[in-house]
Structure formats: structure tokens, C-alpha cells
Chains A and B, each alone.
Chain A
Amino acid sequence: MSSNLLELDGLNKAFGGNQVITSLTLKLEEGHVSSLVGPNGAGKTTIFNLITGFVSPDSGRVRYAGKDVTGSSPQDLKERGLVRTFQNLRLFLDMTVFENVLVSLERMLRGRARARLERVRTKEVLTRVGLWEVRDVKASELSYAEKKFLSIARAMASGARCLLLDEPASGLDGPSRTLFHELMREFKANGQTVLLIEHNLDIVREVSDSIVFLDRGNIVASGTAEEIFSDPELSERYFGV
């Protein structure tokens, strides 16, 4: 029987009197890829911020791996294996590709063995996303697709149990898209849980086990890709078909 790794229970958040998230309840099954879709301003990124501790909810609880983590700091949540990326990537632009990944997984105080392990892991991850050859290049000099994969690599490196990826695939072309699909499959095979925000509905359809459709801070519909995309009302109102 599968269990829920992440549970959002009755979350509310308002910014300056503007209700962004309303009584949001959501469960993410461990080892599944779930996607948040919806128009701009639906509150998708706010949900990421609420889950990862960057923003505190006005009310409601966040439970992760069976524990109430409402109000935990982003750093504590990262320690517990909850890692996110950002829509605008937020790479360390003045650092090399290698440093970008290494810094995301290394500890301040560690012995030689652990330090070596960190470097081995960095190499593994960079090789997997096809960036090992450019490891000494500054992040600012990468192509758009390379930047996207570096951002994913940074999140992957620490062996996260739950990955929250904010528009990781939008703008990716053929081969990059294939690589993205492979990574998603590997995350699933490893038992990692993924929550995606993605505008590219083809990708959402291809990789998601479940989809949550949001509008103005409310869940309008949720279900499998088939259920969501065959819903005539959603299709008419949002997908323009």
C-alpha cells in the first residue's frame, strides 16, 4: 500500500488582503510524479513557497514524512530531503558548474572521506545531466537548456526524497526533453517523489501520475492525466479546445 509523503491540510495564505491560497488540501503519494497546472496567478509558486518554508501559511498544516513541518525553515526541510528549484533558476552565476552542484550537497565540517564522496557524487550528477564536460565553466556562460539542467542537478545532488521542480522543462528542445523524461523516470524508479509546476501540458501529460488543476488559489480538479485532459469543462475553460 502506498503512503502520502507530503500532505497539505487546509492551507490559507493572503498577501496584503489578497487571498492567494484558499483552504488548499493536497496529498502527494510517495514515489509519484504529480503536477500543478493552472493559469498564471493560480498560486502554484506560492504553494511551493508554503511547502518549502519560504512563506508561512496563515492557517492550515503541512505534513512531510509523517511529521508536522508547518513553520519549519527551508534549511531544516532541505536537511529532511525536501528540495526545490526556482522558475527563474537562481543559479550561482559567478561560480562554476561544478561548484554550483558541490555547494548544494557539501557539509561545512567534514572529514576527507566525506569530502571525496561529495566530489564523486557531484561528478555522478553532472555526468547524468550531460554537464560534466562544462564543469569548469561559469554558470552564467551556459546555454538556456544547460542552465535548466544545472538547476535540476543542484536539486538532485543531495539525493532528495522529494523534489519540487518549478517549470523545469519549459523551453527545452528535442534531446533535452528526452533527457528530462529520462530523469523523471529515474526519480520514480528511485522512489523519489516529484511535484512539478509546468506550463507545457504535453510534458505534464507524459510524465505525471496525477495532476492538480488550480485556479485563483483553489483546486478546480485533480486526477490522472486522462481524467484531467478529458474533462470537457476544463478543456473548454482552460485548454482552449
Chain B
Amino acid sequence: MISYIENIATMLSISMILAWSLNIMVGYAGIFSVMHAVFYGVGAYVGAQYAIHVSAEFIVVAAVAMPATAAVAFLLTVPVLRVREEYFVVAAVGYQMVATTVFITWQSGTGGMGGLAGIPPATFFGVMLIDPRAYLALSAGCAVLCILGLNLLLRSPFGRALKALRDDETAAIALGKRPIRLRLVATSIAGGLAGLAGVLYAFYVSYINPESFTLDYSVLLLAMVIIGGAGTLIGPALGAIFITVFPALLNFLEVPNSILGPLQQVIYGSVIVMLMLFMPDGLYSAGRLLRKGTGKLAATLGVGGSSQ
């Protein structure tokens, strides 16, 4: 049971980093990307190859994989940033298809469908992280650094310019902001962070194959951001918790095994639909709705801040 929870917590840390990084694009730069699993995959493969052939020192691997993924994100985005919204979504689907094909067929780089096995355990300043708890601490530490870094970034001139762009692009242009440049930097940062998540994942599972980096997963990541609340710091983390933990909780349903799988899917899907219907701004807005609700209730009952 403990190891089950440790496993979920480690995967949750990785998912949070992915959701936060995608949120830079979706929530702040206004790019609806459904190719985030591509960056995740590139980070994982680059990290795995480096760990297998050169060094498994986590910081070094991350320092190699993150810029590589950022560069891929930059190069893939340059030609398509002039298109926005639904057109970008379609272009991203195209990229995802190409990338999946590369992951499947590039034997020497990715191991093809068979994947890359034998990824050594990560070392952290020379200490081999074999204990799952130590690895959980590393993953959680990376997630914490990630949110602290994003918080700083969003309070910087760059972050404000991104938010301005999101709120009103025409006004941002009139005030001297350059949307394409800003979006490219945002995408590169998002790519680099997804690469970090990829490295964490590759070390964690020690075997990777293309099935972890599919369009399905890209869509799921987008769902995390939107379900949690795009354009907020906490929202994507809530979305990641929901998407990662909720299905795990459904495992504890006391129903016959034969119907457990389909039932889980139906409940999971239905809850997502309900969330979007009743909380279109995401789980993040739950607090606000709750305050509003209790405020109304208090007013109805004639207690609290009523001016009567």
C-alpha cells in the first residue's frame, strides 16, 4: 500500500511539472497545444540515452535534456506560431503524429516500439537513488522548484508581458510587446520543463517506449490544465491531482472485477464532463464558488456581512 502511494506521488510530481509547463503555453501564452507529450518524450529519450551512455548524474542529465527539449520546442513552434487557436491545435496534432512515428521507428535513437531498456538509476551528487522514497523526494523537489521558478517568472517583466498578451493582444502590441517572440520564449521554457519531467520519468521507470508519449497523453495533459484552471499557478496542480489520483481511487470501488474497468471509465469521463459544465474555470474556481455560495447562504439566513 505504501509503495502504491509512493508510486502515485512520484507520478503526480511528474504530472504536475508537465501540467505547469503546458500551462505556460495554454494559460499564459494562449497556445492550445496538444503536443506536449512530444516534448515529454524528447526529454525522456535524450535523458535515457545520456544516462545509458554517458552519466546517470541527475543534474547533468537534466542539464543536457532540458535545453535539448527546449530547442526542439523552439524549432517545432517557429513555423506554426503565426497560426493560432484551432489552426495551431491541428498543426500540433500533425507534429504529434510525426513525433510518434519517429519514436516508433528510430531504432538507434529511441529503440523503436521495443523502447529503451536498462536506464540506470539516477545518482544525485554521486549518491545512487535506489530507494523509491529518495526518488519521490527528488521528483517532489523538482516540482517545488518548478512552481517557485514559475512564480518568479510570472512576476517578471516577461511574465507580465505574457499576461498582457493573453488579456489583450492588440493592446500589448500597441504597448510595444512582440507576440511571436514572447510565445517562442514561452514555448521553449515550457519545452524545457517538459524535458525535465521526461528525465524524471525515464529514471523512474528505467524503461521507456513510445506508448507513454502519445496524442492521448497530450490530450490528457491539456485536460489537467483546463480541469484545474488554466492561467493560474495552482490550477494545473489541482488538475494533475484529479487526473492522477481520481482513477486510482476508483480502484477501490467494491464491484466485480469484470465491470470495474468500464465502470471506472464511465465515472471518470462523466465527472470530467460535469466539472466542465459546472466549473468551466476549473477546480481552482471551487474556492471562489464556495465563498460565493456560503456568502449567499449567510445572506439568506440573515447572518454575516449583511448591511440590513
Q: Tell me, yes or no, whether A93 is within 8 Å of chain B by CB.
A: yes
**Is B178 among interface residues, defined by CB-CB distance under 8 A?**
yes
Please determine whether B164 and A103 come into contact, CB atoms closer than 8 angstroms. Answer: yes
Within the assembled complex, what's the spacing in Å between the Cα atoms of A106 and B164? 12
Nearest residue (CB) in A for B158 is A108
Chain B residues near A84: list those with CB within 8 A: 174
Residue of B164, B171, B176, B177 near A86 (CB, 8 A) is B171
Which of A95, A102, A104 meets B167, CB within 8 Å? A95
The reply to whether A94 and B167 form a contact with Cβ atoms under 8 Å apart is yes
Q: B160 near A91 (CB under 8 angstroms)?
A: no
Q: Taking chain A's interface residues, is the majority helix, strand, or loop, or is none over half, making it mixed? A: loop
Which of A74, A99, A108 touches B174 (beta carbons < 8 Å)?
A: A74
User: Scoring A residues 190 to 231 as 1 if CB is less than 8 Å from chain B, else 0, what string do you get?
Assistant: 000000000000000000000000000000000000000000
Q: Name the residue in B171, B174, B176 with the highest tally of chain A Cβ atoms < 10 Å from its Cβ.
A: B174
Partner-binding segment picked from A36-44, A75-83, A232-240 = A75-83
Contact status of A79 and B176, CB under 8 A, knowing A95-B163, A99-B160, A103-B161: yes
Contact A107 B175 (CB under 8 A): no
> CB of B157 within 8 A of chain A?
yes
Q: B254 near A: Cβ within 8 Å?
A: no
B173 at the interface (CB under 8 A from A): yes
Known pairs A75-B178, A78-B176; A91 contacts B161 (CB<8 A): no
Q: Tell me if A90 is interfacial: C-beta within 8 Å of chain B.
A: yes
C-alpha gap A86/B178 in the complex (Å): 18
In contact, B163 and A107 (Cβ under 8 angstroms): no
Query: Do B173 and A102 have beta carbons less than 8 Å apart?
Result: no
Using C-beta atoms within 8 Å of the partner chain, give the interface range for chain B: 10 to 19
Q: Is B168 an interface residue (CB 8 A)?
A: yes
Q: How large is the interface on A (under 10, 10 to 19, 20 to 34, 35 or more residues)?
A: 20 to 34
Nearest neighbor of A84 in chain B, beta-carbon distance: B174
Determine if A52 is an interface residue (Cβ-Cβ < 8 Å): yes
Contacts of B171 in A (CB 8 A): 86, 90-92, 154
- When the two chains form their complex, are residues B173 and A90 in contact, meaning their CB atoms are under 8 A apart? no
Query: A86: which B residues are within 8 A, CB to CB?
Result: 170-171, 174
CB < 8 Å: which of B158, B168, B176 contacts A92?
B168
Q: Which residues of A contact B175 (CB under 8 A)?
A: 78, 83, 103-104, 154, 158
B174/A95 in contact, CB under 8 A = no
Total A-B Cβ pairs within 8 A: 68
Tell me how far the C-beta of A101 lies from the nearest C-beta in chain B, rounded to whole angstroms. 10
Interface membership of A67, Cβ < 8 A: no
Cβ of A112 within 8 Å of any chain B Cβ, yes or no, is no
Contacts of A79 in B (CB 8 A): 176
A108 in contact with B161 given A75-B173, A86-B174 (CB within 8 Å) = yes
B160 touches A103 (CB 8 A): yes
- Tell me the minimal C-beta distance from A211 to chain B in angstroms: 25
Give A102 to B176 CA distance when docked, in angstroms. Answer: 13
- If A78-B176, A79-B176 touch, whether A90 touches B170 (CB-CB below 8 Å) is yes
Report whether A75 and B170 are in contact in the complex, using a CB–CB cutoff of 8 Å: no
Q: Out of A90, A92, A110, which one reaches B163, CB within 8 Å?
A: A92
Q: Is the CB of A74 within 8 A of B157?
A: no
Cβ contacts under 8 Å, B164 to chain A = 92, 95, 103
CB distance from A138 to the nearest CB of B (A): 10
B contact set with A: CB distance below 8 Å: 157-158, 160-161, 163-164, 166-168, 170-178, 231
11 contacts between A and B (CB under 8 A): A54-B173, A74-B173, A74-B174, A75-B178, A91-B167, A92-B164, A103-B161, A103-B175, A106-B160, A108-B157, A108-B161
User: What 4 additional pairs, Cβ within 8 angstroms, besides A54-B174, A74-B173, A83-B174?
Assistant: A75-B178, A86-B170, A92-B167, A103-B160
